[in-house]
Structure 1
Amino acid sequence: MKGRFRGPVFQRRVEEADATTTDERLLHRGHLDTHNDTWRVLRIQSEFVEGFGALAELGEAIAIFGSARLREDHPGYAQAEEIARRLAEAGFAVITGGGPGIMEAANKGASEAGGLSVGLGIELPFENGLNDHVDLGINFRYFFARKTMFVKYAQGFVVLPGGVGTLDELFEALTLRQTQKIRHFPIVLVGTAYWSGLIGWLRDTALAAGTIGQADLDMLVVTDDLDEVVDLMLRTREDA
C-alpha cells in the first residue's frame, strides 16, 4: 500500500517536501509557532483519550517487542509467533508496535490462536500502517503517547532481538521499574546470544563503575527457553 499515515489518517499522495512527521515538527527547535504549539496540546490530549478509550477494556495483556527488519527466515520470527500463540491460548491479549518483522510475527501468533492481537503503530517516514494480523489497531503521531499505552496496558514485556526502537522500550520499562513507577512487571529478553553483549556491558562496565546496582541488573531475565518466558508472564496473575 503506497502512501503514508499521519496519525490515524492515511494519505496516498504525499509531496516529498511535506514528508515530515508530527513528532519531528513538534521537536524541531527552529519551528517556533506559539499558536500552533498551543493547539498541539489538544492533539496530544486526543491521542491519550483515543488510546485510553480503545484499550480500557483490554484485560490481561503482554507486550512483545523486536525488530521490524527481521523476516520469516530469522529464528526470532518463529519464536515471537510461538510465544504470542501460547500467551493467547492462556488468555492474554498480545500488544506490539503493529509493524513488520518480529511485531508481525507476534500479532500473527496471537490472532491465529484466537487471541486479541493489538498493534500500536507510529507515524514514521519509512513505514506504512499496521500489519495484516492486527485485530485492534491504533496509529499514533507521538511516541510518548504510544509508549504510555504499552506500559499502562501490558503486564510484562517480552523483548526479542531488535534495534534502537526496541532498546528504547526496554530501557523505558527498566527505568520505570528501577524508580518503582511500575511493580511486579517482568522484562524478559529472548535470545542469549543476541543480548549477551548488552548484559555483559551492564555487568562489567556499568555495575563495576557503580552507576547501576545489582538489583537493576536482576530485573532482566535473559533466556532461550520459551516455556520460561510464558511461565514468567503467567506469574503476573499471581502478583496482581
Structure 2
Amino acid sequence: MIGMKRTRPERRQGSAVVRGDFVPDSTYDQRLLDRRGPADWLHMDPWRVLRIQAEFVEGFGQLAELPQAVTVFGSARTPQDSAEYRLGVELGRKLSEAGYAVITGGGPGCMEAANRGAAEAGGISVGLGIELPFEQHMNEYVDLGIEFRYFFVRKTMFVKYSCGFVTLPGGFGTLDELFEALTLVQTRKVTSFPVVLMGSEFWGGMIEWIRSSLAATKKISPEDLDLIHVTDDPDEAVRIIAEADRGRSGQRKDEEESVQRTVADAQ
C-alpha cells in the first residue's frame, strides 16, 4: 500500500544504528562471554580490548565535566500512569533542585520518569544506554545520552560519576545494579556512597529476608544493614544523599588541611 511505513528491526550499537539485515543475532556482550564453538575468540579478544578501551575513553570524555550527580535505577516496564512513575518524576525534580545531575539507564519506565523530572526542572538529565537483543530507545528527556556495548563499561560510568544511588522498584536488572552497588560499598571500593531504596512496600520483603536470612546467619555483618536506606519520601532521599556528600567534602577538606600542616611543619 502506498504510504505504508516499512517496519524493520533496529538496534543501537555504541554510536551506530543498524537496521534490517544488518542487525546481528547476538550482542557484543554475548559474543565476548560465549566460549562455545571454534577457538576464533582466541584471536578476536585482543581486538575487542581496543573497542572496550574506546568505550571507556568515550564515556570518560563525555561525562568528565558533569557536576555532582546521582544515579537513579528502576524498572523499564513501569507505566506512565502509575504511582511509581510519578514518584520517579518527583525524585528527579527534587534531585535537580538540590543541584545534582540525574543519571539513569536512559530507557523508559522509571528511568524516563527520573530523567523527565530533572529535565522539566531545568537540571541536567543523563542517560547511559546499553545494547540489548530487544531494542530500547533512549527516552526523550535525556540531554546527554551515551550508548554502550558492554555492561561492565556502563556500570563503571554509573559509579564513577555518581555520589549516590537511588533505586526505584524494578526487576532483575535493577537488582543487579543495586547489589553491585552494595557490594562496592560493603567492600569499601567506594566510600561515603549512600544507597537509597524508594518504596518501602515494594522493598520491605527483601529487606526482611536480608535481615532474617543473611544477617541472622552471619552471611553479612549486622552493620551492613545500615548501608541501605529505605524511604517513600523524595525529600528524605535527597537529604540522605546531600548529607553523605557534605560528609565526603568535609573529609576531603580535613585531609587537605592535614597535608598542608605536614608540609608546613617540614619546612
Q: TM-score range by the shorter chain?
A: over 0.9
For residues 194-205 of structure 1, the aligned pairs below 5 Å read 194-205=202-213
State which of 28, 41, 44 in structure 1 corresponds to 2:49.
Answer: 41
Mapped contact 2:98–2:238 kept (Cα < 8 A): no
More relative contact order in 1 or in 2 (CA 8 Å, sep 6+)? 1
For residues 145-224 of structure 1, the aligned pairs below 5 Å read 145-224=153-232
Work out the CA distance in 2 between the residues paired with 1:5 and 1:214: 43
Equivalence for 1:8: 15
Q: Within the alignment, does 1:30 sit opposite 2:40 as a pair?
A: no
Mapped contact 2:10–2:135 kept (Cα < 8 A): no
The letter for the 2-side match of 1:4 is R
In the alignment, structure 1 segments of 5+ residues that lack a partner are none
State which of 23, 26, 39 in structure 2 corresponds to 1:20.
Answer: 26
In the alignment, structure 2 segments of 5+ residues that lack a partner are 1-6, 250-267
Residue 63 (structure 1) shift = 0.4
- How many residue pairs match? The answer is 239
Mapped contact 2:192–2:245 kept (Cα < 8 A): no
The letter for the 2-side match of 1:24 is Q
Structure of larger gyration radius: 2
Work out the CA distance in 2 between the residues paired with 1:88 and 1:227: 12
Work out the CA distance in 1 between the residues paired with 2:202 and 2:147: 29
Mapped contact 1:3–1:128 kept (Cα < 8 A): no
Q: What TM-score do you get using the length of structure 1 for normalisation?
A: 0.96
Mapped contact 1:120–1:140 kept (Cα < 8 A): yes
Residue 143 (structure 1) shift = 0.3
Mapped contact 2:14–2:131 kept (Cα < 8 A): yes
Equivalence for 1:109: 117
Give the % identical residues: 58
Deviates more, 1:162-171 or 1:26-35: 26-35
